[in-house]
């Protein structure tokens, strides 16, 4: 995802809508732009067991590592 806005982030949420037969297989990682932090943030690490599909929103209360991006510029390529 390419982001062109440069204003500092006040908050951050990652919305996910994935189709998968076994959510417990999934590891989801957010890689912010290099200028913000090149360290990947793990959003989900093989949780959910045999549940099918994943529709959720990851926010700071659930993934505290997202807080380190608050105050940084979102400009760049997010993966």
State how far the Cα of 73 lies from the Cα of 21, in Å rounded to an integer: 36
Q: Give the CA angle between residues 68, 33, 2 to the nearest 5°.
A: 125
Q: Where does the pLDDT of residue 6 fall: very low under 50, low under 70, confident under 90, or very high at 90 and above?
A: confident
Judged against a pLDDT cut of 80, whether residue 46 lies above it is answered with no
What was the pLDDT predicted at 36? 54
| Max Cα distance, the chain (Å) | 40
68 neighbors 37 (Cβ within 8 angstroms): yes
38 neighbors 79 (Cβ within 8 angstroms): no
Judged against a pLDDT cut of 90, whether residue 2 lies above it is answered with yes
> What is the pLDDT averaged over residues 36-59?
78
> Between 14 and 22, where is the model more confident?
14
């Amino acid at each position: 995802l390419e982001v062109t806005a440069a204003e500092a982030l006040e908050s951050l949420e990652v919305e996910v809508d994935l189709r998968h037969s076994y959510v417990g297989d999934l590891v989801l990682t957010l890689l912010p732009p290099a200028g913000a932090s090149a360290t990947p943030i793990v959003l989900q690490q093989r949780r959910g067991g045999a549940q099918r599909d994943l529709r959720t929103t990851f926010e700071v209360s659930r993934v505290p590592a997202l807080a380190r991006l608050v105050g940084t510029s979102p400009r760049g390529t997010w993966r």
